Amino acid sequence: MKMCYLSTMNLFKKIIFLDHAAGRENPSAIYDEGVEAKHALEEARTRIARVLHVQARDIIFTSGGTESDNLALLGVFEAHREKILKPHIVISNVEHPAVRECAKEVVRRGGEVSVVDMREDGTLDPQKVLHAIKESTVLISLMYVNNETGAVHPISKISRLVEEYRKKRGSKLPYIHTDASQAATVLSVDVLKLGVDLMTLDASKVGGPKGAGLLVVRPGVKIKPILFGGGQERGLRPGTENVEAIKEFAQALEEAQGQREEQFERLSSIKKTFIEEVKRLLPQAIFNSPALSVPSIVSMSFPGLLHEFLAVKLNERGVCVSTGSSCKNINTEEREALRFSFGPETSKKDVLEAARLLREVVI
């Protein structure tokens, strides 16, 4: 039995919990334990809002990055269907499967989608994005950091260009959405600086728990829910909030953003060491990450070799890498690649050893 301080009676008293049908830690309940959960939820929301430079009410908690992307794309699409015959969405050709599959769903629902191709070097041309905008465009959705190559896309520059376009046109449309899940450990995810209207984050990608994510929805953005039920999260996301995971998410995001400059510097040095060592040991390696990429991701290819086999062989030697993300490959025609991605615990010794073992499996 939980003992709990009851301010109204000024003594410690036994709690008789008779709300098992709702469950513990329910922020919608009216008794002390529920009110505490509500406070914890709103405190986490406020802490996250402070880090992102938005208002607490701009934060919608979800089950993760994939759901947040779905809410951004389908929610904005649905909110504009009545007034615009064929709402149009712009994405790039290297988006996460969540964004690409939502874009396909938009087409199935009668909308339109334009896909902006990367430049040869894997970077995104802001002018190309601007040229893709049409009268009917409601949303531009672009990842901040490419999860395969680590390429950093010029989101704030695109936001500025789009803002100029909107001002000229006297319209609030199109909105800009970015999935910044891969960015938050090494780059600022300040929403004001990025200038976006919607932003996805996933707790597990910033060192937090599985099962929590968020979508920033700035004031004035017209969006509809994609899941239906209770009125939680401003009516945009039903279901009792996972307060414990959200508290850990807030903690992890604060830490990640607090340490991002230090991590950026530390991982930049590690990335440099790793690339130099691989070049020395395996001159045939082709590096896929463009110059402007995060220090936490190195993508490389070995033409003629089966990269999944390389990853399996590396695993046998104790090195865990991916041949893409956990999601499916962007494009099956694309060059096969090995992705090495670093975190707070990765050391120079680790990557030198990984380079040595990579040589063993390649030659």
- 66, 214 Cβ separation under 8 angstroms: no
Cα gap 230→225, rounded to integer Å: 11
CA angle centred on 123, ends 104 and 77, rounded to 5°: 25
- Closest contact distance (angstroms) between CB of 197 and a copy of itself is 21
**Rounded to the nearest whole angstrom, what is the least distance from the CB of residue 348 to a copy of itself in the complex?**
12
Indicate the length of the chain as a whole number. 363
Residue closer to a copy of itself by CB (options 326, 332) is 326
DSSP, collapsed to helix, strand or coil, labels residue 155 as: helix
The residue (of 125 and 336) whose beta carbon lies closer to a copy of itself is 336
Q: Which is nearer to a copy of itself, 34 or 130 (CB)?
A: 34
β-bridge partners, 12 = 5
- The C-alpha atoms of residue 229 and residue 306 are separated, in whole angstroms, by 47
Shortest spacing between CB 69 and a copy of itself, in angstroms: 7
- Min dist. Cβ of residue 163 to a copy of itself (A): 29
Does 102 participate in catalysis according to the annotation? no
Minimum separation from the CB atom of position 176 to a copy of itself (A): 20
292-314 exposure pattern, b = at least 16 Cβ within 10 A, e = fewer: ebbbbbbbbbbeeeebeebbeeb
Among 107, 52, 40, 104, smallest CA distance to 242 is for 40
- The residue (of 204 and 301) whose beta carbon lies closer to a copy of itself is 204
State in angstroms the smallest separation of the CB of 325 from a copy of itself. 6
Nearer to a copy of itself (CB atom), residue 72 or residue 133: 72
Active-site option among 4, 102, 320, 327: 327
Neighbours of 282 (CB within 10 A): 15
Q: Which is nearer to a copy of itself, 29 or 140 (CB)?
A: 29
Q: Which residues contact 334 (CB under 8 A, 6 or more apart)?
A: none
Q: Are 221 and 184 in contact (CB under 8 A)?
A: no
Q: How far is Cα 330 from Cα 170, in angstroms, rounded to an integer?
A: 36
Residues involved in catalysis: 327
